[in-house]
Amino acid sequence: MLFIALFVSFFFYSAGVYTSGTALIDAPSASDSVHRGQALFRENNCWACHQIYGLGGYMGPDLTNIVINPDLGPDYARLFIEEGTDRMPNFELNTREVDDIIAYLEHAGAAGNYNPKKGKVTWYGTVEYDRE
Ligand code: HEC
């Protein structure tokens, strides 16, 4: 009898786990421009030197929250992407391509935060952030 009860609860629990969605509840939807920007970010190897959500190369800074940061913002990012620096190449991208990359960086910033060190660990082990 116990075995049957366990089997039945296992069955319903599994059905629940496999059918409940895994999508982020408040994730912003990505426009075509965001998708193009992500592809450009990959094709131009921005990831070789930069990180998004802390993943990538470490020659340049993490770019997750550059565009949504009110002290930096899209114009600041545009300047670097269009001009390059001594250490960052100028990729000769056209205005639309730069717009797409900025849309991608804006989307990345709206979907998550980096630096994780600013998060607070709760007593039950998750990390919480103050979202701007
Ligand atoms: C060869 C390494 C390298 C590559 C590749 C590279 N960057 Fe950079 N980037 C840097 C460095 C280093 C900096 C920091 C400024 C400096 O020291 O010159 C930087 C700065 C930036 C900044 C300003 C960030 C801040 O916090 O000040 C943005 C935005 C940026 N890069 C975007 C991009 C994009 C978009 C691409 C791809 C199209 C790219 N970078 C490719 C090295 C690189």
| Domain CATH number, residue 61 | 1.10.760.10
Q: Which atom of ligand 1 is nearest to the CA of 40?
A: 38
3-state class (DSSP) for residue 56: strand
Structural domain contains residue 67: yes
Give the per-residue pLDDT at 25: 62
Structural domain contains residue 42: yes
Number of domains in the chain: 1
Q: Mean pLDDT across the stretch 6-21? A: 88
Between CA 105 and CA 113 the distance in angstroms is 12
- Asked if residue 67 lies in contact with residue 77, where contact means CB atoms within 8 angstroms, the answer is yes
Confidence (pTM): 0.80
Give the per-residue pLDDT at 26: 66
Q: What is the pLDDT of residues 83-117, one digit of tens each?
A: 999 999 999 999 999 999 999 999 999 888 887 66
Residue nearest to atom 32 of ligand 1 (CA): 81
Structural domain contains residue 3: no
Listed residue (120, 97, 113, 118) closest to 62, CA to CA? 113
Structural domain contains residue 127: no
Structural domain contains residue 123: no
> Nearest-5° angle of CA 62, CA 81, CA 61?
15
Q: Mean pLDDT across the stretch 34-45? A: 96
Percent composition of the chain: helix, strand, coil (DSSP 3-state, to 5): 50, 5, 45
Structural domain contains residue 122: no
Structural domain contains residue 109: yes
Residue 45: give the domain boundaries: 32-115
Instruction: For a ligand 1 pocket test, name from 38, 43, 47, 50 the mutation site with the most ligand atoms within 8 angstroms of its C-beta.
Output: 50
Residue nearest to atom 41 of ligand 1 (CA): 46
Give the per-residue pLDDT at 116: 65
List the structure tokens of 31: 């426009």
Structural domain contains residue 121: no
Q: Where are the beta strands (DSSP E) in the chain?
A: 51-52, 55-56, 120-121, 127-128
